[in-house]
Structure 1
Amino acid sequence: MDLFNQRKQTNFLPYDGEVLYYPNILSLEDARAFYQNLLSGIAWQQDVVKIFGKQFITARKVAWYGDDACAYTYSHQTKIALPWTPELLSLKNKVEEITNEHYNACLLNLYHSGDEGMGWHSDNEKSIVPQSAIASLSFGAARKFVFKHKESKESVSLLLEDASLLVMKGRTQEQWLHALPKTKKVKDLRINLTFRKMIL
């Protein structure tokens, strides 16, 4: 019996979407083991993004894994998925059990400190199944995560802690932007896995 699915989760968004937060989905020991494995066992690369026609190499590192070498295009760059590692498959199965959803790919981000973040955006690329759930699993340093409604500009923030899971569902990507603000207060690494359902 899945205790997580027995809990009644609170929607963090006031309207136009659904965001659920599950703290501590892994034991401290398991979270540390996965963190070390992800740090050393993932094929991390610096990301290349295009802003106003100019290319920039980010300090943040990324990796893209998934089923059947599925592709993901964002910021005018296309990534071909690497095959799942045993550890990533284990985490995917855990996340699918908690969320009652299916995912076929995962975008991983490595933030070396609070000096690295992510600006306002929505995960609404055409290669993602519309209104499908996106599950964000965090390891390492706790970081503030912020949502902003595209029309009303109302904002909602929460702290993403080590071994926590954030699930974005329904109209969230259509109606809300989200960001990981930079901060001088955080000096430690954070690894984030966003499990997605891509159109194959």
Structure 2
Amino acid sequence: MSILTRQVHTDNRQSVVQQFNLPDASLHLWPQWLEPQRALALQLQLEHELQWAQDSIMMFGRSVKIPRQQVWMGEPHCQYRYSGVTFLPQPWHPIVQQLAIDVSDFLQRPFNCVLLNLYANGQQHMGWHADNEPELGHDPFIASISVGAARRFEFKHRSAPWQLAMELMSGSLLTMSAGCQQHWLHRLPKQSKINQGRLNLTFRYIEAKP
């Protein structure tokens, strides 16, 4: 598969973007969207102040603990169901809410909920999946911020032999859109040599029911 990558450099670090023109999807990566000091402060504060939980999901008919800790957060109506479990949102943490506003202003997209995942080291991971739950709508626009240890992030097409891998650095912002959740799967694989923690925030939008 041929992938076209475009980089735009300006004096503003938030404007340095890599564009991946994939079949059936669009990915944009800002490698240094957050300044290093803000990324580190965000990681340390949220690790200590949020109510992290190692939730269980249903896999092959049985309850299994996920290999990471997570928090589901957002507006009160943003209930979220995946892998047979319904999650009710925790109220906004002020730091996360401000970050959601900043991301929304930057991308000119609305976000009203976020899934935060905390990985203690490279042994903790997330398997192949797509963020295609019905609550997110037909073609969700996902914005993902990573802080902490750099980790490899992988994509594969659902019906064709196309794959892509990238490294997500601390402070990076990745957007997934234009059919990505319908036609591609993504994962955070194990990396046994990584001993540092990583925190990821994936911002989404769920419409309120009438």
What is the TM-score when the length of structure 2 is the normalising length? 0.89
Q: Give every structure 1 segment of 4 or more consecutive aligned residues whose post-TM-superposition deviation is greater than 6 Å.
A: none
Q: Would you say the 8 A contact 1:13–1:156 is kept in 2?
A: no
Taking a change above 3 Å as real, the CA distance of residues 44 and 28 of structure 1, as seen in their structure-2 partners, is same
Q: Distance in 1 between matches of 2:30 and 2:47?
A: 23
Shift in alpha-carbon separation, 1:47–1:10, aligned structure 2, 3 A: same
Distance 1:144 1:91 in 2: 23
Structure 2 counterpart of 1:71: 79
Identity of aligned residues (%): 36
Q: CA 1:6–1:183 in structure 2 vs 1: closer, same or farther (change >3 Å)?
A: closer
Equivalent residues of 1:4, 1:98 under 8 A apart: no
Structure 1 position 130, deviation (Å)? 2.0
2 CA distance for matches of 1:5 and 1:59?
Answer: 32
Q: Which amino acid aligns with 2:186?
A: H
Return the offset for 1:59.
3.6
Q: Deviation of residue 58 (structure 1)?
A: 2.3
CA distance in 2, matches of 1:28, 1:90: 18
Q: Which residue of 2 aligns with 1:46?
A: 54
CA–CA distance in 2 between the matches of 1:155 and 1:192?
A: 22
In structure 2, the residue corresponding to 1:11 is in which secondary structure? Answer: strand
Mapped contact 1:69–1:82 kept (Cα < 8 A): no
Alpha-carbon distance in 2 for matches of 1:141, 1:161: 7
Partner of 1:168: 176
**Which of 179, 196, 201 is the aligned partner of 1:188?**
196
Structure 2, unaligned runs of 5 or more: 1-11
CA distance in 2, matches of 1:104, 1:135: 12
The aligned residue for residue 98 of structure 2 is 90
Q: Give the Cα–Cα distance (whole angstroms) in 2 for the partners of residues 112 and 60 of structure 1.
A: 7
Could you tell me which residue of structure 1 aligns to residue 7 of structure 2? none
Distance in 2 (alpha carbons) for counterparts of 1:114 and 1:18:
27
Compute the RMSD of aligned alpha carbons: 1.7
- The change in CA–CA distance for 1:184 and 1:5 in structure 2 (over 3 A counts) is closer
Counterpart check, 1:124 vs 2:124: no
Q: Contact (CA 8 Å) 1:120, 1:177: kept in 2 or not?
A: yes
Q: d(CA) in 1 for partners of 2:192 and 2:125?
A: 11
Please tell me whether residue 154 in structure 1 is matched to residue 180 in structure 2.
no
Q: Secondary structure at the match of 1:83?
A: coil
Give the alignment's TM-score, normalised by structure 1.
0.93
Query: In structure 1, what is the equivalent of residue 69 of structure 2?
Result: 61
* Stretch moving more, 188-197 or 91-100: 91-100
Deviation of 1:101 (Å): 0.7
Q: Tell me, yes or no, if structure 1 residue 19 matches structure 2 residue 38.
A: no
Q: How much has 1:4 moved relative to structure 2?
A: 6.9
1:32/1:4 CA distance change after superposition, 3 Å = closer
User: Does the residue aligned with 1:179 lie in a helix, a strand or coil?
Assistant: strand
Deviation string, structure 1 residues 18-62 (Cα, Å, up to 9, x no partner) = 111011112221111111111011111002111110111124101
User: What count of residue pairs does the alignment treat as equivalent?
Assistant: 198
